[in-house]
Structure 1
Amino acid sequence: ASLLGLESVNSASEIADRMGMPQLEVRPFEIAGAAGPAGFGASEVHAFEVRLRDAMARFDFVDVMSAGEDGSTRQCRGNPPRSVFSLTGLAEAHQGGTFSLLVRLTDRCGGTIIWSTAFEDLRRGAELPASEYRVVRDIASAVMQSYGVLPTRARAQARADAPGSGFGCIAQSFAVLRGEDSTTAAQARGCLDQWVTRDNGFGTLHAVRAMLLLDEAQRSSDRPLDPAMLDEMQREAELATDLSPNSAYSAKVLASVEFFRGERDAALAAADRALALNPLDYDVAATVGTIMIGLGKPEQGEAVLAFARGHGAARSPMQDVYLAIAAFMREDEIAATGLVSTLQAHPSAQGRIALALTLHALGRLEEERGVVALLARETPGGAAGVSRLVHHLLPIPDSYDRVMGALEAAGLPQLADASRG
């Protein structure tokens, strides 16, 4: 699997074991009843199994076992305990050149089936590759995305049963990044730091650590960013990709960091690499879409983001912010109209910036001025704080200048002065 940095001395499975990473076994698929109609048999079913195992192995934070390896429930009670899952398939051929496939995901530690689905009207022969793609894509969307069935369950189990494990620290960090509980960024970083000190070769730990630093930087508006923090964030992101060259998550984090620092070409290169490493990781694709919008490519970015969300990417308020920026840049009143009610539910400063831009695109200037007044009054740092947040969202001068021009035309400096008075 691409989940870990492959050290020269230790194998990926050894690293996964020490980290307490969840384990997934893709078992040989079975055929119901007899061999079925002529021409249908084990080779076609095996092709699905191989394609699926290879696709699952591209995802981060899961140890996908090689063909022939058996998952062991002993890992459930190991030190640290690990989540253990198995994916099984049962194929049944039908007349007319089609077959069906029943797929199940089982939590072997709990002994329960946690997800299942059935695919009908799959095609054989020359159309078999298209059937394979459909099956792999749909399973990846439901099971393997960062908030799919398997990672969500594994993170919950790690936080409950092994919070101090490497994967437990990653689970805490994901909770912080999503605002899911009271765990603080400092606590999550402290957990990661202990593991980094103990063993510096876990590439994804460095990527998650860089992401926590980036999240903190993106929220800061009351003062200029600490250059030492920015340098640390860059080092962590680069080290992650060095240690985990096949990790789409690490490449995505590097793209996000390069974008935040205004390194246009480096951000696009890392984003392209992240997409190539795992085309089925739609959460990665969603991030790439927001980066494209931020780099002044609203049409491309909006298309990539919409595609990712349509295939199971976890939705976030920040994605809505960038969709609003894209609608503003393209002067798309239809898109802007569809975002107003969503953005009104986002009380963050970034959400209010986006809401002001959608209202501007719609010509609702009095309402825009009201939102800008709220921004000026409640954003730490006033007008300068708003400017910093816009720069965090849009580090490329052309895009930044255009957005700040709209906010200033709505009275940002004067409203900020009035709020201080």
Structure 2
Amino acid sequence: MDQAKTNETQDPAEVDRIIAGELERLLDSPMFTRSPVLSRLLQFLVEHRLRGGRSSPKAYAIATEALGRSEDFDPAVDSYPRVMVGRLRSLLDRYYADTPWVHRLRVPQGSYEVVVQYRAAPPSARSADDPAGDDDVKTAGAAGRTTGRGGVVRRAPDRGAHFGRWIVVLILLALALFTLWTLRGGDRLFVGDPVPVPLLEVSAPAAGNLPQSRALARALDGKLRDGLRRFDLVDLLSSKAPGSAVTGKSDYRLDTSLVRTVEGNTDVTLVLNRVADQRAIWSQQLRLTQDETPEFTAIEPLIAQLAGDYGVIVRDQVQRQPDNFSPGFPCLAQFNRVRQMRNTANVKQVDACLRATLKANPRDPVTLTALSLVRYGDWQPQRMTPAGREAFAEARALAQRSYESSPNSSAGMFAMARANFYTGNCAAGNAMGDAAIALNPYDADMAGFLGLFKLTCGMGPEGELLLRRSLQLDSSYPGVPAVTLAFTLSERGDQDEARRILDQMPSPSNMEPQYMMVRAIVQARQGQVAEARAQWQRLLAYTRQPADATPERVLGRFIITPVVIQRASAALRDSGVVAAKAAP
């Protein structure tokens, strides 16, 4: 039986040693690493205990010393310490539920004191090879071979009747397969149903009992739901209509809390939990001013980072199942992994699983849009070849199918926007792109590429705003939008901001040819000509071009639009990265 023993029944020095050791293990665990606020709170409570505090610390001390509250914090009107200690209890329970333990840390209900709970041995895992189960099987087998009840010998089964029953079963199975073939179509008979996108439950925000706190909680809940429902790779549990075919069990749960400070600020904490193993896989905390509520625009980047094309939920799928290319959500997750990580090795697998998804669901706009983009990627390096022209034609046809299948979806609209831009139809591309952004203003990827397209079409101010919006929403995988913004700023003379954007770009974005080109231009304009020319040499090696290759030839290897090639080539010459054109 588990017991939480007190200091009087154990050696105090031994108890302190156990507490210190458990604290170290807890803080090193992924669960607590992802929860910096609760880690800091646990460390404070433990240090209070180890310093000789034999009674619970006060709520005021917890708030001001562990949770960052100001000195005028009033625990009589603000329940923040109690709320956070309650969350700490839950996190401790989740950690120890997955970890065999002989002793564990606990914060008893109604107290802020850390105590040690003991038990005799770690919980034993139930073996799949249960000896008792084997005995039962053996006993049943022996009885079948000897006698029945009362010692009467059982009759051997009639082999002819047994064979006849199997014939009937096979005939019925053949009829069922034929019926399924007719209903689904022969080419789809053995195509499994695509794996659906994850189901996300958004818990009601925990807040105080004051009317203003409850009003802010409702506004926060509405903001989160409004943003998350706009993304295609996550489905809200609450958005399902009554009676729809949903099990009701979510894959992820988003817990939120809201605490108002004495100064009038609002602290918002978001924790994403994976329901299958009750693990917190992501958490963020924001302090919002009065001007930022009740609109809660400051949490828009968190919405994008959670549910975006390569957001927390998609990355969790890829990290847990890196080799899963099953039709449906796993395939779409791999598609976005290839896009963001620039890993071309898996393009063929992604192409195949997207086509398998479309066999089962030929009108899915998200999959059609993804496959269209894959084919545009096939077209770019072989634009002047028959294979390139074939890829381009299929890419545009897939975009058209996506739009026709779902003309009111952001996926379908943006697929057609891209197709129109690639054919030089700026008017149609802008109209479709603007409509797609209106449907999902939280999509960083869509904002970035629409900004790039607008710049190409000569709409500089609008394009720059969208590029900045893209980086504001999610700068973790910035890619081409960030490089384009840096180039725009450099052309305008703002080399310092352009350099800051480039310096903040993570791998693999900072290994792309567009990055090398723009960095060389910015370095040269900052007076670092030698470094800029070394960067150009790396770009020549990357594109496998000779040392005397013209900028137009080099840039044509990875840039599609002639006007962009012309502008970038002029910048390379004007900045001194490459030699100016010889006079005619």
**TM class by shorter-chain length?**
0.7 to 0.9
Aligned counterparts, 1:57-76, within 5 A:
57-66=229-238
**Structure 1 residue 211 displacement after superposition:** 1.6
Where does the alignment leave 5 or more consecutive residues of structure 2 unmatched? 1-192
2:306 aligned to 125, 131, 143, which one? 143
- Provide the residue aligned with 1:54 in structure 2: 226
Q: Find the aligned partners of 1:203 and 1:389 in 2 and give their Cα distance.
A: 33
Q: Find the aligned partners of 1:248 and 1:172 in 2 and give their Cα distance.
A: 20
CA distance 1:299–1:138, shift in 2 (3 Å): closer
**Structure 1 residue 289 displacement after superposition:** 2.5
Q: Find the aligned partners of 1:320 and 1:97 in 2 and give their Cα distance.
A: 36
2:271 aligned to 104, 113, 122, which one? 104
- 1:320-350 Cα distance to aligned partner (Å, 9 max, x none): 432343245434444555577689x955443
- 1:152-205 Cα distance to aligned partner (Å, 9 max, x none): 213434545x53131111122122222366742111101111121232011100
Name the amino acid aligned to 1:354: V
CA distance 1:260–1:353, shift in 2 (3 Å): farther
Secondary structure in 1 matching 2:450: helix
CA distance 1:110–1:340, shift in 2 (3 Å): closer
TM-score relative to the length of structure 1? 0.73
Q: In the alignment, is residue 152 of structure 1 matched against residue 315 of structure 2?
A: yes
C-alpha root-mean-square deviation of aligned residues, in Å? 4.2
Q: Find the aligned partners of 1:46 and 1:359 in 2 and give their Cα distance.
A: 49
Q: In the alignment, is residue 190 of structure 1 matched against residue 352 of structure 2?
A: yes
Secondary structure in 2 matching 1:393: coil
Identity %: 21
Q: Find the aligned partners of 1:135 and 1:334 in 2 and give their Cα distance.
A: 26
- Provide the residue aligned with 2:256 in structure 1: 89
TM-score relative to the length of structure 2? 0.55
- Provide the residue aligned with 1:296 in structure 2: 458
Secondary structure in 2 matching 1:66: helix
Q: Find the aligned partners of 1:131 and 1:309 in 2 and give their Cα distance.
A: 23
Name the amino acid aligned to 2:317: A
Q: Find the aligned partners of 1:351 and 1:208 in 2 and give their Cα distance.
A: 24
1:234 aligned to 396, 405, 411, which one? 396
Name the amino acid aligned to 2:237: M
CA distance 1:250–1:353, shift in 2 (3 Å): farther
Name the amino acid aligned to 2:375: L
CA distance 1:102–1:240, shift in 2 (3 Å): same
- 8 Å Cα contact 1:144/1:150 also seen in 2: yes
CA distance 1:105–1:183, shift in 2 (3 Å): same
**Structure 1 residue 61 displacement after superposition:** 0.9
Query: Higher RCO, 1 or 2 (CA under 8 Å, sep at least 6)?
Result: 1
- Provide the residue aligned with 2:559 in structure 1: 393
- 1:214-263 Cα distance to aligned partner (Å, 9 max, x none): 23334458868722211211121232233234443444444334333322
- 1:335-391 Cα distance to aligned partner (Å, 9 max, x none): 555577689x95544344334543565577777666656656763577599548449
- 8 Å Cα contact 1:25/1:64 also seen in 2: yes
Q: Find the aligned partners of 1:225 and 1:361 in 2 and give their Cα distance.
A: 40
Computing the radius of gyration over CA atoms, which structure comes out larger, 1 or 2? 2
Residues paired across the two proteins, number = 382
Secondary structure in 2 matching 1:115: strand
Aligned counterparts, 1:248-287, within 5 A:
248-287=410-449
- Provide the residue aligned with 2:202 in structure 1: 26
Name the amino acid aligned to 1:55: G
CA distance 1:297–1:394, shift in 2 (3 Å): farther
CA distance 1:275–1:392, shift in 2 (3 Å): farther
Q: Find the aligned partners of 2:266 and 2:425 in 1 and give their Cα distance.
A: 50
Q: Find the aligned partners of 1:392 and 1:350 in 2 and give their Cα distance.
A: 8
CA distance 1:362–1:270, shift in 2 (3 Å): farther
Secondary structure in 2 matching 1:49: helix
- Provide the residue aligned with 2:518 in structure 1: 354
Q: In the alignment, is residue 217 of structure 1 matched against residue 389 of structure 2?
A: no
**Which sits farther off after the overlay, 134-143 or 22-31?**
134-143
